[in-house]
Amino acid sequence: MLLHHASWPEVEAYLKRCKGIVIPIGSTEQHGPNGLVGTDAICPEVIAAEAGAQSGFLIGPTFNVGIAQHHLGFPGSMTLRPTTMIAALNDWIESLTRHGFDRIYFLNGHGGNITTINAAFAEYYANFSLDAAPCPVRLTQRNWWELPGVGDVCRRLFPAGEGSHATPSEVSVTYYAHPHAVKRVEMTPKIAPSASFADAADYRRNFPDGRIGSDPSQATPDKGAEIVAAAKAALIGEVSDFFGVKPLAQAAE
Ligand code: NI
């Protein structure tokens, strides 16, 4: 069930059965010559939406602008400062806990978000620790590509050129979600370079077309469907364990 498609009485009824919610969280940033700027938000969003439809677990809105200062050398990229994101995440968390949600699972689509999400969790828990009050809420984050079994599928589909940014795996997932947005672009060089980076100017100098170590011209909607199927199944299992509640519904496929 999607929070955005539910009425408030439906959310109230859900909270009597389950106090957990999944929040997809990503980024709005360049993903190379054929990748969508929304890639890191779209991937967790589609995986969570399909898992929510099958399991009945509630899926919240996508937190879709993250830490992408290093991508600002490319048109369309947007970023939050880490301090802004920590504050915004705490407002999201406190809005949900006010209604009784006590398990919030962030399904992350962007490696650059990880440390800031953890900092936001520490900020939230500090409210309780400093008050010497036990916190009834548990927060967790998981990168979708690290869900059990997903890496095996990605390595089988893309034995070469997976890389670490604008990967054929993530681009495939977005092409599956939005087949009208598929772009066919020749990659030069075929596999992009790998290196470190600091700010936006440094990133653009090191990675002129935006990719890191990848060949996303291998991406197809069919491969994305395989990845999403594996991620969906693993996500339902993990969320069920974290919430301490069995899936609420098994929709017909
Ligand atoms: Ni990405």
Domains of the chain: 3-244 (3.40.50.10310)
Phi-psi region of 73 (alpha: psi -120 to 50; beta: other; left: phi over 0): alpha
pLDDT above 70 (res 252)? no
**208 prior amide bond cis, ω within 30:** no
The stretch 141-152 carries a mean pLDDT of 98
The span from the CA of 167 to the CA of 211, in Å, is 8
The span from the CA of 108 to the CA of 220, in Å, is 22
Which value, to the nearest 10 degrees, does the dihedral of the CA atoms of residues 115, 121, 122, 126 take? Answer: 160
Cα of first residue to Cα of last residue in the chain, in angstroms, is 15
Centroid of ligand 1 to alpha carbon of 244 (angstroms): 30
* Res 167: pLDDT: 98
Centroid of ligand 1 to alpha carbon of 78 (angstroms): 13
* Res 204: pLDDT: 97
Centroid of ligand 1 to alpha carbon of 87 (angstroms): 23
Helix (H, G, I), strand (E, B) or coil at 52: helix
Strands (E), the chain: 20-25, 58-59, 103-108, 138-143
The span from the CA of 173 to the CA of 221, in Å, is 7
Helix (H, G, I), strand (E, B) or coil at 148: coil
Centroid of ligand 1 to alpha carbon of 206 (angstroms): 17
pLDDT above 50 (res 16)? yes
- pLDDT, one tens digit per residue, over 52-98 is 999 999 999 999 999 999 999 999 999 999 999 999 999 999 999 99
What share of the chain in percent tops pLDDT 90? 98
* Res 222: pLDDT: 98
Centroid of ligand 1 to alpha carbon of 247 (angstroms): 29
The span from the CA of 77 to the CA of 70, in Å, is 9
Centroid of ligand 1 to alpha carbon of 248 (angstroms): 31
Cα angle: 132, vertex 138, 139; to 5 degrees:
120
Centroid of ligand 1 to alpha carbon of 213 (angstroms): 12
Centroid of ligand 1 to alpha carbon of 156 (angstroms): 19
- pLDDT, one tens digit per residue, over 176-185 is 999 999 999 9
* Res 253: pLDDT: 42
Residues whose CB is under 5 A from ligand 1 (ion)? 39-40, 170
CA nearest neighbour of 27 among 84, 91, 77, 83? 77
Q: What pTM value is reported for the model?
A: 0.97
Burial bucket for residue 220 (CB in 10 Å: 0-12, 13-18, 19+): middle
Which residues are within 8 A (CB) of 181 and not within 5 positions of it... i.e. 6 or more apart?
36, 174, 175
Centroid of ligand 1 to alpha carbon of 10 (angstroms): 33
Centroid of ligand 1 to alpha carbon of 170 (angstroms): 6
CA nearest neighbour of 35 among 137, 178, 155? 178
Centroid of ligand 1 to alpha carbon of 128 (angstroms): 34
Centroid of ligand 1 to alpha carbon of 13 (angstroms): 36
Centroid of ligand 1 to alpha carbon of 161 (angstroms): 14
Burial bucket for residue 66 (CB in 10 Å: 0-12, 13-18, 19+): buried
Which residues are within 8 A (CB) of 56 and not within 5 positions of it... i.e. 6 or more apart?
1, 247, 248, 249, 251
The stretch 31-37 carries a mean pLDDT of 98
- pLDDT, one tens digit per residue, over 203-246 is 999 999 999 999 999 999 999 999 999 999 999 999 999 999 99
* Res 250: pLDDT: 56
* Res 43: pLDDT: 99
Centroid of ligand 1 to alpha carbon of 21 (angstroms): 23
Which value, to the nearest 10 degrees, does the dihedral of the CA atoms of residues 55, 58, 62, 66 take? Answer: -90
